[in-house]
Amino acid sequence: MTSTIRFETDNDVAVLTLDLPGRSMNLITMEMIRELDALVDRVAGDEKIKGAVITSAKPAFMAGADLAMLAGLAAKAHSVSREELLAAVFEFNRVFRKLETCGKPFAAAINGLAMGGGLELCLACHYRVVADDKKIQLGLPEVKVGLLPGAGGTQRLVRLMGVQAALPYLLQGRSFRPQEALGFGIVHKVVPAAGLIDEAKRWIREQGDAVQPWDKKGFKVPGGEGSMNVKVVQTFMAGTAMTRKETRDNYPAAQAILAAVYEGHQLPIDTAIKVESRYFASLLLGPEPVNMIRTLFVNKGEADKLVRRPADVPKSKVTKLGVLGAGMMGAGIAHVSALAGMEVVLLDMKIEAAEKGKSHAAQSLEKEVRRGRRSKEDMEAILNRIHATTDFADLAGCDLVIEAVFEDMKIKADVTQKTEAVLLETAIFASNTSTLPITGLAKASKRPGQFIGIHFFSPVEKMPLVEIIMGKETSKETLARALDYVQQIRKTPIVVNDSRGFYTSRCFGTYPTEAIAMLKEGVNPALIENAGLQAGMAVGPFAVADEVSIELMYKVQQATKAALGDAYQPHPADEVAELFVTRLGRLGKKVGKGFYDYPEGGKKHLWPGLAEHFPPRADQPGVAEVKKRLLYRQAVEVVRCLEENVVTDPADADVGAIFGWGFAPHTGGPLSMIDTIGVARFVAECEELAARHGERFAPPKLLRDMAREGRTFYPAPAQAAA
């Protein structure tokens, strides 16, 4: 008996149906690999069976390897010998290679998505037929979790497509659609879903070639092979340069893929998959896979499933949404909500502004229509759900209202009161503010228990994170309903407690302000900007300051100063922001000048005038030192937020950092980064930075206590493996 693969026979053809119990989607587990190993022997040893079809009982064929299994394997990589690690890693390759050399033909009947190890299993089969469905994706996305395809993917894909064609898919984790896969020879046939199994059986009975192309005499890799082939050499020269440019050497998996393909494509397949397994094992010995899998997939997945939602509150659904303010944020919120099927009331002071906000959605949808991703009828249906208005009475019947007006307490209080006058008693009110405390804003509400922060990031359509902010009186029912709404629009939520700047804005702000502090010290701005990118941040600190607006930074600084009074701690960046806004009029990208100049029709460049106002000193720091200051300053503030209970869980902190403000993804987030560096070492290095640059680097008490007690933010590898 097998528990993950059903075995049946249709006279002379066996059918192996993948059906992992208790899961909505198949994943490769060690149990499944063991069962497949035994079933290959069963097929090979039964003279009555000509061959076997592998398919799935679920809508998807297979999503890939179980990430929890991979994380566990990575976590215990240091606690076993290298030989034991290699043996564990090679088990996947061993079983797949056994399948393709057992002497019986195997056909993959791909009924849905096949990713990672799922596609690698298909590639090990001698014949691959896929259902004719444009939604089906086939791909090897392992690079996105800090790994390479470790079950023959780097070797079989190259032998099917050629080096030049395969590398972009391996290095970027890109997917194929069925017709594209057919064109590259990754699948042999695309057929209607209803005829999928029959076609696989037909091939076994009528053709049934049990020898892979690369096992046949005289096989050559398409497009050329070998270290002396001019096309291959050029591909690797360009590929290596482009990979270093894109990854800035922060993602070892990309370099390992290049090396595995370069070495492996010149070798017999049996040796090649051993090379691949060795590179896979070497990646498991680094911190990236554990950190990236945990944060980017496991913890993000938990957040998507609403892990912070109060369990005792009934599930809710927003059918009618009100959005106050039709600027870029309000328009984006209206757009994503209408996409999710909600009726949206988009309100602004002037009808022209409200209509302009609606046109923002229209322009975006028209692009999708032109690209064939959406029908015109679908576009019109979505736009018909957005009602542009200036009349607060139109908000009647809304389940939820989100205000996205100017960051001004009086304006927000005014729209809160006007909205509540027409709202249902059961409706909740949310503010999209990025800095103003929710508890303070809720004072304008007659029902603060139904008042909450729902903070989106710009551009709303593209940014995956939503920060939910609890005011002091916000009820658990309101929290649950806000989380349900975020899930409806397919965003990832984190839950934080109220404070000035909350979590993301407060911590993100330290990135550009530390860069500005270094600029004031005489550090070359080009060095600072490039160090930010080399550290793995999504955008350089000066570019991001221009994007969010130096004027906004200045206004937040002034508002914070006014609110805190004598408790306000001046920052070296304060004077620079004041200079740019009040004297130079360089407010950021929105006016075409900030730290950068934005010439019409030209490429943006750092403003030459920076050298006049902030002359570079003779002794410039090294890149490593600048990178450390930029990353450590953010990480220290994240720990402070955890210490102050602004963010309550390390998982939310790391997910919020990466998906909210673009903290270096390869680290797994600031707290994962601290664990990787070592808490005690991080504390010592922060103390050195504080002595040289100021108290903003001083490690919080929480961090000092953790260093003294030997604690980490996440379980240590040995604990994780257990």
Catalytic residues: 455
CB 577 within 8 A of CB 561: no
What span, in angstroms and rounded, lies between the C-alpha atoms of 671 and 676? 9
Of 57, 175, 47, 158, nearest in space to 114 by CA = 175
Which helix (H) or strand (E) segment holds residue 661: the answer is: helix 650-661
CB 114 within 8 A of CB 62: yes
What span, in angstroms and rounded, lies between the C-alpha atoms of 141 and 169? 8
Q: Would you put residue 251 in left (φ > 0), alpha (ψ -120 to 50) or beta?
A: beta
**Could you give phi then psi for residue 573, rounded to 5 degrees?**
-75, -15
What span, in angstroms and rounded, lies between the C-alpha atoms of 5 and 252? 35
What span, in angstroms and rounded, lies between the C-alpha atoms of 270 and 284? 22
Return the axis-axis angle of helices 252-264 and 230-247, rounded to nearest 10°: 170
Look at residue 498 and give its three-state secondary structure. coil
What span, in angstroms and rounded, lies between the C-alpha atoms of 117 and 26? 11
CB 646 within 8 A of CB 681: no
DSSP character at residue 579:
I
ω into 459 cis (within 30 of 0): yes
Characterize 64-78 residue by residue with b for buried, 16 or more Cβ atoms within 10 angstroms of its Cβ, and e for exposed.
bbbbeebbbbbbbbe
Of 404, 317, 329, nearest in space to 360 by CA = 329
- Residue identified by tokens 């270290």 is 227
Return the axis-axis angle of helices 623-643 and 525-534, rounded to nearest 10°: 60
Would you list the DSSP string of 380-400? HHHHHTEEEES-GGGGTT-SE
